[in-house]
Chains A and B, each alone.
Chain A
Amino acid sequence: MIRSANMKKLKGSSLVEVLTAMLILVTMISLSTAVYVRFISLQPHKQLNIQEELAQLAWEVKQNQLFDNKQVDLHEQGIYIRQECSAYQDHADLIVLSLAAYSHRDKLIASHHEIIFRQDENH
């Protein structure tokens, strides 16, 4: 009986201690998961990457001087980009380029606004 009782009782640790330890472990795992989800999985560099993607697109628009309105779907990144071009105030040689990246839930992730000089053939 005594031997059996000893078997049930974990050697050197009370059941309360073990349960406390397990609780702490579970708490730590939850905390780690929360930290991962809150801080690591939504890393700011992902947003920066999208911002850089917009800057790259703006550069291409500038280089090619193609000022049109369009929407580009980037499935692999789970976003779509809306491009809008309009004349700046009454100046025909100045174009406002607006690029905005949205998630597929239509949440704005990043935007890029820039004024571009419309080059003529003399430049």
Chain B
Amino acid sequence: MIKAGALTLVLAISLIMLSFLAAMMTMQQYSRQHAAEWRKNTVLERNLHSATQLLFAKEFISYEDTAWIDLFGYGTDTVSIIKKPWGAYEVGVANSYLSHDTLSCAMVMGTPFSPQERYALYIANEDRPLSVSGNTIIKGDAYLPPAGIRKAYIEGKSYEGPDHPVDGKIHESNAVLPSLAPALLNYLQSFFDTGNLVEPFPLPVAGDSIHHSFLHPTLFIALQNPAALSGMNLNGNIVIVSDSTVTITANNALEDVLFFAPCIIVEEGFKGSVQLFAKDSILVGKNCLLDYPSAVGLIPGQDDPSVMEFSPYIHIDSASTVWGAVFAQSMDSGHFMSEIRIRPGATVYGQIHAEGLLEMRGSAIGSTRCRRFKLQTPSTLYENFVLDATLNFKDLSPDYRGAPLLGSSGTRTASKWLAQ
């Protein structure tokens, strides 16, 4: 039996139902908005990922060009990509656009080792054998002169390693080392002319911090007298160029910063990720850690009179570790040859490229190539002798990505995602 006031009751029930329906519709509307937002973000991320794949491809884009691309030809998936050199490496910047939204990323790009580059040692063929002594270990393939390798007794030490000094295949080397990438080398050389700098930024005071994104133009800091960087926190897209000696003390926090100077001194105990390029000398003190992707490079100028007077050198002191590339360019005959000195207990993870002499007393986990080895003892200078050194490609992580300056592979992969 229907009770009195049925209409009132139904109206009340209807009001409740309407409220419920309105709540559901509002919820649904939010859900749809959320779904649309999710779809947009997904498309942005996917297109950004596609853009990074274009950056990795061989010869897809040249340096400093900005390529605007409609990815799939529908007019909706627009991306832009920029590839620029960053020291011995490259930096890729990708942007993905959809309606009013933009998603960006920046990365340091490295190069995988091609099959021809997977060796522990490449020594130029100068028609003389390589002599090994003490606890010298060569793990991985080796490119040697036809005269081969021999065990030697020097400085009161005989060879103590395995029967076969090379734990890997032996190939015949050429008279000339594999060359550095010319485009990157020209780019590095251009920084030594400080007159090229546009509106350089002054050196910040001690205790100051600068974070500069790779999505913006590079920040240049120019120094004109011998300077010591102390207590600074510099991070990102920053290049420091000096016409004199630069000293980096251990109390700096530096990440991804590039240095160009005639002479660079890294004081004992420094930790950071930096790329150091000098014309005359680089001194990395004891107990330093140059984290990936670091580089230590010597680029003597062809017209620089100083290379006619002394050997430019890189000195990596004991208990120091470099993750990245260590290289020294050498001028033609008539100049002093450049030198790389790796002291006992020092380790380089990555690549060593010495167009001159390499004094190897520490460890190289990765690939090492040099024109000639040098061993300086208090009494004697030996050439093409190696004592108590480790040259080990086999223990380098397969995920390690080399510096494009030293690699021949055209393809790239992201080796470090950069903060924005």
Contact = CB atoms under 8 A, between A and B. Distances in A.
Interface of A: 10-13, 17-18, 20-22, 24-25, 28, 31-32, 35, 39-40, 43-45, 47-48, 51, 55, 88, 91, 93-94, 96, 98, 112-117, 120, 122-123
14 contacts: A10-B1, A13-B3, A13-B5, A21-B9, A28-B14, A28-B18, A32-B21, A40-B24, A44-B31, A88-B54, A94-B60, A115-B53, A122-B113, A123-B112
Give the most central of B9, B56, B113: most A CB within 10 Å. B56
B202 interface: no
A48 B39 contact: yes
Given A39-B25, A94-B57, 14 more contacts: A18-B2, A21-B10, A25-B10, A28-B14, A28-B17, A39-B24, A43-B28, A44-B31, A93-B57, A93-B58, A113-B77, A122-B113, A122-B115, A123-B413
A59 B50 CA distance: 13
Interface in B1-17: 1-7, 9-11, 13-14, 17
A115 B112 contact: no
B114 interface: yes
B38 interface: yes
A45 B54 contact: no
B35 A44 contact: yes
B4 A13 contact: yes
Contacts of A11: 1-4
B24 A55 contact: no
Which 9 A-B pairs give the minimum distances between C-beta atoms? A12-B4, A21-B10, A44-B35, A115-B50, A17-B7, A39-B28, A117-B53, A13-B6, A21-B6
Interface of B: 1-7, 9-11, 13-14, 17-18, 21, 24-25, 28, 31-32, 35-36, 38-39, 42, 46, 49-50, 53-54, 56-58, 60, 71-72, 77, 112-115, 409, 411, 413
A122 B42 contact: no
A65 B49 CA distance: 16
Contacts of B4: 11-13
Contacts of B409: 122
A35 B21 contact: yes
Contacts of B32: 44
Nearest to B34: A44
A60 to B, nearest CB: 15
A16 B32 CA distance: 41
A45 B53 contact: no
Contacts of B39: 48, 51
A21 B411 CA distance: 75
Contact of A96 (B3, B13, B72): B72
A71 B225 CA distance: 69
A35 B36 CA distance: 20
A39 B21 CA distance: 10
A29 B380 CA distance: 102
Contacts of A10: 1-2, 6
Contact of A116 (B2, B53, B112): B53
B25 A35 contact: yes
A31 B25 CA distance: 12
A43 B29 CA distance: 10
Contacts of B49: 114-115
A39 B409 CA distance: 54
Q: Which of A17, A113, A114 is most buried by chain B, counting CB atoms within 10 A of its CB?
A: A113
A21 B11 CA distance: 7
B60 A91 contact: yes
A63 B118 CA distance: 24
Given A31-B21, A44-B32, A45-B31, A113 B72 contact: yes
A43 B17 CA distance: 20
Contacts of A93: 57-58, 411
Contacts of B42: 51, 55
Contacts of B25: 35, 39
Contacts of A51: 39, 42
A21 B9 CA distance: 8
B411 A40 contact: no
